[in-house]
A and B are shown apart, each in its own frame.
Chain A
C-alpha cells in the first residue's frame, strides 16, 4: 500500500478573499510506516488530513492510494478525530461495531471482531458502557478501535490526544506505540506536539504556516523499546530542541 500526496495546493474562498492554506504539499506513507506532520495552528495540518480522508478536495495536485485517486471518503482511510466523535447513543461495543455494520459484515464476524478490538485497546470490560460513562482517554481508545475494526489501509490520526490531560496523553502515546508495533498498522499522525511526533513516527514532516508547506523532513531512528526512558534521553531531547528551534524560526511572531 502506498498513500501518495503529490504537489497538493488548497485555497479557500474566491476572488480577492481567496486564501492559500496549503502550498505544494508532497509526501507518501507506505505499508507499516508511521508518519507524522507537525505544525502550529495555521499550518493547515488539519486541512491536509481532511483532503487525505476525502472530506475536502484539493485545489491542485493529486492524492492517491496505490495509484487510484482519492475522490471521496472511504473505509480504506480510517479517521480518528480529536474529540466528540463517538456516537453518544451507542455503547462502546456498538461504536466499535458501527463501521462493520455500515459495511454489511455478517453478525458473527462483527461480534468477534468487536470483542477482539475492544480487547486490543484494553476496554473489554467497558463494552456495554455509554461514551459519557468513559474517560476522555478511554473514549479515544474506543474511537481508535472503531477505526481499526473497519479495516482501513491507513489510519488517519487528527490530533487524537490533543484534548486529553498531559498524563493521559503520555499513556495514550505509549498505547499507540504498542498498538503500532503489535498490529503492524499504517498511520498518518497530525499533531502540534513535536515530542509526540518524534516518539511515534519514523518520519516527521515539519510544516510552516501561512501558507502551509513542508519545510523539513526528518527520519527518526531512535530506540523505542522504552518510551518513558526515551522521553528524557539526551539524544531525544537534543533532537527535539533542534527541531523546536527551527519551528520557532518559522513563526516571525515568536522570534
Chain B
C-alpha cells in the first residue's frame, strides 16, 4: 500500500496512466468494432501505417522538414524578439512607438497571412518560415517586454550606483534577470509555431507532415491522419520538455 502511494507520487506515473487509459479505451473500442474502422482505426493499424511510412523513409523526411521550418521561423522570431522586447521594456519612446502597432498586428490571425505570403513568395520554404515568424514574433516580443517591466528597480539602480553603464545594465542585469520568463515565453509560443507549420503545410505544401495529413484525407486513410496527429503531438511534447530542461539547468536560481 505504502509502495503504491509512493509510486503514485512520482510525477510521471499519473501522467503516463492518463495516456495509457486513453490508449486502452481506444484499443478496446476498436477491437470490439464499436466504431467503423474508417472513422476510428485501431492502434495496430496506426502503428502499421507508421512502420510503412518509416520504411519508405517518408516519416523521417516529413519530420525533418517540418521541424526544420519550425526551428527556422521560430528561431528567427526568438532572435528578433529578444532585443526588441528589451528595447520596448526599457525605453518609453520605443514602447510608445511600437506598442499600439504590435497590439494591432497581434490580433490579426497569422493563418490569414497565408494567401498573401503565397502570392509574394510562392510555395517554397520562405513563406512557411515567414508565417511562423509573423505568427510568433509579436507574442514573443510583448511577453519579453512585460518581463523587462517587472525587473525590480533596485536591481538596476544598484548596478548604476556600483558604476555600471547602460550597456552593462542591459547585459548583466536585465538579460539574466528576465532569462526564466524568456525561456517560458518561448516554450509557450513554440506551441503556436507548431500549429502554424501544420496549417501552412495543410494549405500550401507539396510535402511534409501537414501535407501527409491532407493527402490521407483525400484517400480516406484515417490511420495516416491519426499517425500524423500523434507524431505532431509527440514532437511538441519533446520540445516542451526540452525547454523545461533548459530552464531547470540554466535558471536554477528562479525555481
- How many angstroms between the C-alpha atoms of A146 and B163 in the bound complex? 12
How distant is B199 from chain A, measured CB to nearest CB, in Å?
38
Indicate if the CB atoms of B162 and A85 lie closer than 8 Å: no
Indicate if the CB atoms of B162 and A102 lie closer than 8 Å: yes
How distant is A90 from chain B, measured CB to nearest CB, in Å?
8
Indicate if the CB atoms of A81 and B163 lie closer than 8 Å: no
Q: How many contacts between A and B, using CB within 8 angstroms?
A: 71
Q: Which of B164-220 contact A (CB under 8 A)?
A: 164-165, 168, 172-173, 176-177, 179
Our pick among B163, B168, B172 for the contact of A150 (Cβ within 8 Å) is B163
- How many angstroms between the C-alpha atoms of A106 and B176 in the bound complex? 23
Interface size on B, residues (CB 8 A): 21
A-B contact pairs, 30 of them (CB 8 A): A54-B161, A55-B160, A72-B160, A73-B157, A75-B162, A77-B161, A78-B161, A79-B161, A81-B154, A81-B157, A83-B154, A84-B154, A84-B155, A85-B152, A85-B154, A85-B155, A85-B158, A87-B155, A87-B173, A87-B176, A89-B179, A89-B254, A98-B159, A98-B162, A99-B163, A101-B172, A102-B172, A130-B253, A146-B158, A146-B162
Q: Which of B130-153 contact A (CB under 8 A)?
A: 152
B110 interface hit (Cβ, 8 Å): no
B29 interface hit (Cβ, 8 Å): no
* Given contact pairs A53-B161, A81-B157, A88 touches B253 in the complex (Cβ within 8 A): yes
Chain B residue at minimum C-beta to C-beta distance from A75: B163
Chain B residue at minimum C-beta to C-beta distance from A88: B253
How distant is A128 from chain B, measured CB to nearest CB, in Å?
13
Task: Report which A residues bind B (CB closer than 8 A).
Answer: 53-55, 72-75, 77-79, 81, 83-85, 87-89, 98-99, 101-103, 130, 132, 143, 146-147, 150, 156
B251 interface hit (Cβ, 8 Å): yes
Between B158, B172, B177, B254, the greatest number of chain A beta carbons within 10 A of the residue's beta carbon is seen for: B158
- How many angstroms between the C-alpha atoms of A77 and B161 in the bound complex? 7
Query: Which A residues are CB-close (under 8 A) to B162?
Result: 75, 78, 98-99, 102-103, 146-147, 150
- How many angstroms between the C-alpha atoms of A88 and B178 in the bound complex? 11
Other A-B contacts than A73-B161, A77-B161, A78-B161, 9 sampled, CB-CB below 8 A, are A74-B161, A75-B162, A75-B163, A87-B173, A88-B254, A89-B176, A89-B179, A99-B164, A143-B158
- How many angstroms between the C-alpha atoms of A81 and B158 in the bound complex? 8
Between B157, B177, B179, B251, the greatest number of chain A beta carbons within 10 A of the residue's beta carbon is seen for: B157
Chain B residue at minimum C-beta to C-beta distance from A103: B163
- Per-position 1/0 for B88-126, Cβ under 8 A of A: 000000000000000000000000000000000000000
Query: Which B residues are CB-close (under 8 A) to A87?
Result: 155, 173, 176-177
How distant is B149 from chain A, measured CB to nearest CB, in Å?
16
Indicate if the CB atoms of B161 and A89 lie closer than 8 Å: no
- How many angstroms between the C-alpha atoms of A79 and B163 in the bound complex? 11
* Given contact pairs A79-B157, A85-B155, A85-B158, A132 touches B163 in the complex (Cβ within 8 A): no
- How many angstroms between the C-alpha atoms of A143 and B162 in the bound complex? 11
Chain A residue at minimum C-beta to C-beta distance from B173: A87
How distant is A127 from chain B, measured CB to nearest CB, in Å?
16
Query: Which B residues are CB-close (under 8 A) to A150?
Result: 162-163
Query: Which B residues are CB-close (under 8 A) to A132?
Result: 253
- How many angstroms between the C-alpha atoms of A55 and B154 in the bound complex? 11
Chain A residue at minimum C-beta to C-beta distance from B168: A102
How distant is A222 from chain B, measured CB to nearest CB, in Å?
31
- How many angstroms between the C-alpha atoms of A55 and B161 in the bound complex? 8
Query: Which A residues are CB-close (under 8 A) to B254?
Result: 88-89
How distant is B215 from chain A, measured CB to nearest CB, in Å?
49
Chain A residue at minimum C-beta to C-beta distance from B158: A85
Chain B residue at minimum C-beta to C-beta distance from A83: B154
- How many angstroms between the C-alpha atoms of A53 and B153 in the bound complex? 14
How distant is B159 from chain A, measured CB to nearest CB, in Å?
7
Query: Which A residues are CB-close (under 8 A) to B176?
Result: 87, 89
- A-B pairs, top 10 by smallest CB distance, nearest first, are A75-B163, A99-B162, A73-B160, A79-B161, A85-B154, A89-B253, A102-B164, A81-B154, A85-B158, A150-B162
Query: Which B residues are CB-close (under 8 A) to A75?
Result: 161-163
Query: Which A residues are CB-close (under 8 A) to B172?
Result: 98, 101-102
Query: Which B residues are CB-close (under 8 A) to A89?
Result: 176-177, 179, 251, 253-254
